[in-house]
Structure 1
């Protein structure tokens, strides 16, 4: 989807189309929207000058997404909002509304599976589609079907998307970025040398910052440079598995199937604080936030029907260094008291001398709750009851 979160917001505020808009910072609330409606009568009637500007933002949030007009100023996803404010102070700042984004996500995916049911869900705004056996799917190398899907999605949601058509997932992902927004790019194997090899290595999904830097240090800048390296040389420098994958990827080879069903391996919740918090001076506040994170992870597990037995914490200090700790227990759980108890034990293994800017809680090793229920019944970690009342677990000392 094209600038998905921002595009959904432009449906709500059409007067902002064509303007630099940034999504991030606070969360959308129904109360605030009600106040706007009471003041202006309709959201689309709010004057552009009445919207908050990014240049006035003070805080430590990060940008979730930005319109293409904002991106022209160098503003992008995951950028700190204070930095973005220096690049584009005139950008309009809107809060995040994940409830609304999930609604539109489900809507555009329902349109796709109605035509091409072999669909792999890759998150809130992206999918892979295997249209090998879709009637008419091969017309013009897939371009006809791609355009039909674009039109159907727009008719159902008012949103645009960009489509990459290729023989495999690796190349389709790359092609989907060629002609944004609202583009269709068809990439055939014979196009590899002309369209893929001139691109930087980082354009391959799976080559991250560290591998990219190492490749550049070795004199490999483009995908074409990478493709010229012998397999043995890549294995020597990057290891057997990753070296072999780099060799295959540079030649456009990818045999991964489109997976229509997948299971989550973990669920987590984390938050970045408005100011750095210290374990000693801000103990009560940190403890309250920590408890809330455990409750939110437990709610996610219960709502989606999973349980886990690897529980961990994540901290990011004021100097941006991060640390994680985790403990694997014998019994699966989806209960907040049990998660908090084990996560609290993880905290005791983390240095707490520095101020903290981010705190997170994670539960991994997930299984379906129905499969784990019998094992969890009557266990301390399964329900939290044998250890005493809920308050007993909640009162464990933290950040001391």
Structure 2
């Protein structure tokens, strides 16, 4: 790995990704507060005069969280992971759209394929962000970054924000500085002016609890954290996290860009709008269980994997979470076999109360060519169970 002063690490982050995909589909919503959180019944209705009727955030009833929002909605205080009912109090007139994860995955593939035409290898960090190591490229950072932005826009019609910095930590922070459509270049000497004035939570890795503890101690900016002696941080947060906090606040990070990594498992889960009764909602639970197995199987096939360990997760109304798993004699990427094994896991759980969340996981992954033959998916998995 090159010395820190010679490294050029880029973080590319799509701008309000899910919402931006929806604006391609509904361009008349540009400039308006839009929240992605709705269900199928919140799809826009095409009217006879060619216009559309949209649901509003005030129309939402039930449990759920915001997936994402446009920058106009964020200006009203609506952010991802916020409860939808709370969001409706802040922005009742905001447009409400349902989540379309298949469309977002399609655009994710498109933007990553476009990036690969400029920089062949990258570290995939999820559906809407990647890291790239530009250290060995001949062109200057601004030129490469602009080429990446242009390639993404040409392939998707969407904008992204890029920061090129000496390491991943600074690149991640920097890609958020000039959003949307930002192109940011950070050097070590920019730390006091551009990084240190920011809140401590801007460091990726400082979560709510640590952030609250730091702010409670009067350490509310990255600069303030950088000025705390390492031994004080170690005394409060322990040797590993305390030392990491000091390094991060001072812009030090030697992590490499990992160009390829094998996933340990692939999973799908869903949180229900209301807690489902094992007997009264048996049909809905069975359909959901089957769909989760089919989606996990589809994810496995798209990624070229099969797995031997099948697991399930249930969260009950009191938030108690239970997991069970079993290992098959041969790997599978087949929805029928996954559902059969997941059903066996289910039978090992006492379903004593209503269910809040249901999830299916496949682990111990291997290449797809090792998969066993498929079997049909059928049967009512929840038949015979009822809360005690």
- Contact kept, 8 Å, 2:276 with 2:285, in 1: the verdict is yes
Q: Secondary structure at the match of 1:133?
A: coil
Q: Which has the higher contact order (CA 8 A, sep 6+)?
A: 2
Larger CA deviation: 65-74 vs 279-288 = 279-288
- Match 1:46 to one of 43, 46, 51: 51
Deviations 1:178-231 (A, max 9, x none): 111112222111122332223222111112223323334454332233333444
Shift, 1:176, TM fit: 0.5
Q: Distance in 1 between matches of 2:197 and 2:86?
A: 31
CA deviation map 1:291-333 (0-9, x unaligned)? 33223323322343222334333333445x2514133526344
The 1:350/1:178 distance shift into structure 2, 3 A limit, reads: farther
Q: In structure 2, do the counterparts of structure 1 residues 383 and 208 end up closer, same or farther at CA, with 3 Å as the change threshold? A: farther
| Structure 2: runs of 5+ lacking an equivalent | 1-13
Matches within 5 A, 1:240-251: 240-251=239-250
Alignment of 1:134-173 (within 5 A): 134-136=137-139, 138=140, 142-173=141-172
Aligned to 1:113: 116
Q: Is the 8 A contact 1:341 1:393 kept in 2?
A: no
Residue 254 and residue 384 in structure 1: after superposition, are their counterparts in 2 closer, same or farther (change >3 A)? same
Q: Distance in 2 between matches of 1:390 and 1:54?
A: 37
Give the match's secondary structure for 1:243. helix
Equivalent in the alignment of 1:252? 251
Q: Give yes or no for contact 1:314–1:325 (8 Å, CA) kept in 2.
A: yes
Q: Distance in 2 between matches of 1:310 and 1:217?
A: 44
Residues 1:104 and 2:107 are matched in the alignment:
yes
Cα 1:265–1:19 shift into 2, 3 Å: same
Helix, strand or coil at the partner of 2:184: strand
- Partners of 1:103 and 1:295 lie apart in 2 by 18
| 1:3 lines up with 2:16 in the alignment | yes
Q: Secondary structure at the match of 1:178?
A: coil
Q: Which shifted more, 121-130 or 163-172? A: 121-130
User: Post-superposition shift, 1:391?
Assistant: 5.6
Q: Tell me how far apart the structure 1 counterparts of residues 160 and 378 of structure 2 sit (CA, whole Å).
A: 49
Matched, 1:365 2:369: no
- Please report how far the alpha carbon of residue 109 of structure 1 lies from its aligned counterpart in structure 2 after TM superposition: 2.2
In the alignment, which of 20, 34, 37 is matched to residue 33 of structure 2?
A: 20
CA contact (8 A) 2:286 2:382 kept: no
**1:297-376 to 2 correspondence within 5 Å?**
297-319=296-318, 321-329=319-327, 331=329, 332-347=331-346, 352-370=351-369, 372-373=370-371
Q: TM-score, normalization: structure 2?
A: 0.84
* Residues 24, 65 of structure 1: 8 Å contact kept: yes
Deviation at 1:166, TM superposition (A): 0.6
CA shift, 1:390, in A, is 6.6
User: For 1:239-273, what per-residue CA distance to the aligned partner results, in whole angstroms no more than 9, with x for missing partners?
Assistant: 44333322322221222222222222221112222
Q: Which residue of 1 aligns with 2:287?
A: 288
Distance change in 2, residues 1:216/1:399 (3 Å): farther
Q: Which runs of 5+ in 1 are unaligned?
A: 374-381
CA RMSD, 1 decimal = 3.1
Per-residue deviation at 1:67?
0.9
